[in-house]
Structure 1
Amino acid sequence: MTNMDLYLGGIFVQNSTYDYGDYVYEEDCKPESRGHLEAVLYSLALVVGLLGNGLLLVVLAQRRRTWSVTDTFILHLGVADCLLLITLPFWAAQAAQDQGWSFGTPFCKAAGAIFNINFYCGIFLLACISLDRYLSIVHAVQLYSRRKPRLVHISCLSVWLISLLLIIPDYISLEAVKNARQGPTVCTHNYPHASQSVFDWRLASRLLYHIVGFLLPSAVMLFCYSCILLRLQRGSQGLQKQRAVRVILALVVVFFLCWTPYNITLMVDTFQSNYKAPEESADGVCGKTSLETALMVTSALGCFHACLNPLLYLGLCRNFRKRVLEMLRCVRGAQADSRCSLWELGVGEEALPAHEKVVLNQMTKPEHQVQSSQS
């Protein structure tokens, strides 16, 4: 009787752990079409991103003599996006080719590092802009201004330096690895297993990414915009400040819509891997687990963010849209427009109206003198 109980228990245990619903017939698995679709999406993002960021950099180049604080932040955001766009052909080739990644480990390290640099620079620069808006609207303190341009450059250079330091663990661990299941070569992190090392490098690298790169800046921005929205509801703020909050909030929301799915999936992979044996991760559909597929899809969504910021500027910033249309029509705008804000982010721009009035008065003074002499 005891043996029968053990035998029945063995049947039930085996039946409960083996899920036939996840079984996929090999003829139904078509990684080629999926890879080609991914390559097409990367190519589309590359074309749209290069056009949009190209126009952005050209407009900024035309304003290089009168750069404002906002122009500096927008320039660094655009450079980070352009760096990511340069790596998209490599990811597209990996998805489209049967052999996978064919560019070797050095290019794998560079492409993976740039991917993370784009994320770090984007979220840290948005946190700097959000902190400036919080201090300006809630506490009436101007953190950045044209009178202190050095602080702006120090902040942007610090963002790049911190980003470079944070990608060191990823740069070291990235390798072009041949799939053990006779699959294609992939550009991925190759950490030493926890049992083979005293220090768990994989867990430490992931926690650094999650906490310093995502959670802390997100908490700062959430606090800043919560206080800003409460202040705007209680008091009567100027139209310029309300418009600045609207534009920045749109940039932040789009950033998190693109990057949050990847970060959540990566968190799930981080904590799930600590309770999963290495051999268990070899099961999957078409040589990939559902979690690996989710990471691939969400990372592609993060790459799409590199082509969205110029579209937001065109849609929300009418001065930038006007300047782009004038440039495309080969029409030179008025000289006074070169000093006005194109972005309406409000960063360091509260001190501008008095200065702009002096410039405009100097420009219009001869006209008034001519009109008065004629009269």
Structure 2
Amino acid sequence: TFSGHFVMVTDEPAEYIDLSVLDLLGDDGGSGSEAEQDPGKRHSQQHHPQKHYFVSKETKKFLQGRLATTFIPTVYTLVFIVSVPLNLVATVMFVHRIRPKKPAVIYMLNLACADLLFGLLLPFKIAYHYHGNNWIFGSFMCRVVTAAFYWNMYCSVLLVMCIGVDCFLAVVHPMKSLTWRSPRTASAVCAAMWLLSLGGVVPILTSGQTLRLSDLGITTCHDVQDVETLHSYYLYFFPIYSSVFFFIPLIFTVVCYVRVIQALAAANVENRSKKSRAIVMTVVVLLVFVVCFTPTNIILMVHYVHLAHASSDGSYRAYLLSMCVGSLSCCLDPVLYYYGSSQCQKQVAALLRCTRLARGESGSETRSTRTSGSTISSRSCKMESVHTNMGAQYNRLET
């Protein structure tokens, strides 16, 4: 974060200070000041010193500039508008439409939930940046929102890793992994990922995240920390946190997807287009994961390496911008994992055909005929659904 330096400031009246100076100079023939003659009055005029935090000129320029107050919240607004409906619909579809609940479905359902919760937190960030990086929701909410922000982001990383491992087991070791890849195991693994990522943000949840900058007239949330706290606490916390919750999952994810791509490329499949589509989808999923999350975590590590030797406000500006790129994964995940699947496309096509059939029959027949037509339409929809499910099962058996 940006480093805040504090100085001790007293709010003493100017006339009291002037009298003290005159007294030290021996003015009025050593008779002393009015405050000295009345110790009780002098005691009442004294004020307790307070901490006032100050930041560098570059930090002030960034906190008040358009990049932080316009560009970043605008990106978050677009992500919120797109990601929340997409992930909400995907969550409903995973719960009510996808049958049976295989391990891959359970992992993708949890990923959609994590992305949905991440998107629902964005309005707090949007309001914070649009108000000139001034937090107006209180210190407790700042801790909750900051912790939940990291919680959902890194829970998504862990769930993407789980999807990669599950895909690796299904493609590379399909027979050996039959006993491991069960819905119960997948549910337990997802619960463990949620709890693990929650445990990682407990230090953020229990430490102060707001800091008042009197010269700017704003209260920052997590973006500015006391320089002593940065060197004694966060200098060690965030590098360890990023290593455990990103770089280790990154290694597992890359290795699993590379092995999947190799297995798909070496497989002898009659349907070449389906094979090519599977390879392309796997490569795209891996690229989205790497592009969205790797820059953020590399910059975070570089930031704290620089902070160990000197001030590193410039790298934190780059980190805030990379966070915007990382938030795009909330929009891309549902498109890749659900809306890009063949099963979803068949369901949408079946729904559209049923709707068109119902409209055509209702507009061309009489009321009695409409009744029979609606029955035929509903039967057609059911038959279409059956064929879709059978096709989906066949596709799964093929893979």
- Normalised TM-score (structure 2): 0.67
Aligned amino acid, residue 72 of structure 2: E
Question: Whole-Å Cα distance in 1 between the matches of residues 302 and 122 of structure 2?
Answer: 25
Aligned amino acid, residue 149 of structure 1: P
Q: Quick check: 1:164 aligned with 2:164?
A: no
Aligned-pair CA distance for 1:325: 5.5
Question: Whole-Å Cα distance in 2 between the matches of residues 122 and 310 of structure 1?
Answer: 12
Q: CA RMSD in A?
A: 3.6
Aligned-pair CA distance for 1:230: 3.6
Question: Whole-Å Cα distance in 2 between the matches of residues 88 and 271 of structure 1?
Answer: 29
**Equivalent residues, number:** 313
Question: Whole-Å Cα distance in 1 between the matches of residues 215 and 227 of structure 2?
Answer: 18
Aligned-pair CA distance for 1:170: 2.2
Question: Whole-Å Cα distance in 1 between the matches of residues 351 and 303 of structure 2?
Answer: 47
Q: Quick check: 1:72 aligned with 2:106?
A: yes
Aligned to 1:113: 147
Aligned to 1:286: none
Question: Whole-Å Cα distance in 2 between the matches of residues 51 and 207 of structure 1?
Answer: 34
Q: Quick check: 1:208 aligned with 2:259?
A: no
Q: Quick check: 1:219 aligned with 2:270?
A: no
Aligned-pair CA distance for 1:242: 6.3
8 Å contact kept, 1:144–1:152: no
Residues 233, 71 of structure 1: CA spacing in aligned structure 2 closer, same or farther, 3 A cutoff?
closer
1:293 aligned residue (310, 313, 317): 317
The DSSP-based 3-state class of the residue aligned with 1:178 is: strand
Aligned to 1:334: 385
Larger RCO (CA under 8 A, 6+ residues apart): 1
Aligned-pair CA distance for 1:193: 5.6
2:75 aligned residue (41, 52, 62): 41
Deviations 1:196-249 (A, max 9, x none): 79x942133112222111111111122223333344444536766765554344
Deviations 1:142-196 (A, max 9, x none): 53679832111111111111111111122223512223652532210777766x7
Aligned to 1:137: 171
Aligned to 2:48: none
Aligned to 2:300: 266
Question: Whole-Å Cα distance in 2 between the matches of residues 222 and 96 of structure 1?
Answer: 37
Runs of 5+ consecutive residues of structure 2 not aligned to the other structure: 1-56, 356-380
Runs of 5+ consecutive residues of structure 1 not aligned to the other structure: 1-22, 282-288, 354-375
Compare 26-35 and 116-125 and name the one that shifted more: 26-35
8 Å contact kept, 2:107–2:162: no
8 Å contact kept, 1:117–1:164: yes
Deviations 1:280-326 (A, max 9, x none): 56xxxxxxx43232122111222221122223346632321342455
Question: Whole-Å Cα distance in 2 between the matches of residues 126 and 156 of structure 1?
Answer: 11
Q: Quick check: 1:307 aligned with 2:358?
A: no
Question: Whole-Å Cα distance in 2 between the matches of residues 315 and 34 of structure 1?
Answer: 33
Question: Whole-Å Cα distance in 2 between the matches of residues 320 and 91 of structure 1?
Answer: 33
Aligned-pair CA distance for 1:79: 0.3
Percent identity among equivalent residues? 25
Aligned amino acid, residue 322 of structure 2: T
Aligned to 1:52: 86
Aligned to 1:323: 347
8 Å contact kept, 1:80–1:121: yes
Question: Whole-Å Cα distance in 2 between the matches of residues 27 and 161 of structure 1?
Answer: 39
- Normalised TM-score (structure 1): 0.71
Aligned amino acid, residue 76 of structure 1: N
8 Å contact kept, 1:144–1:151: no
Aligned-pair CA distance for 1:113: 1.7
Question: Whole-Å Cα distance in 1 between the matches of residues 105 and 90 of structure 2?
Answer: 10
1:254 aligned residue (279, 288, 309): 288
Aligned-pair CA distance for 1:127: 1.5
Aligned-pair CA distance for 1:275: 0.6
Aligned-pair CA distance for 1:271: 0.6
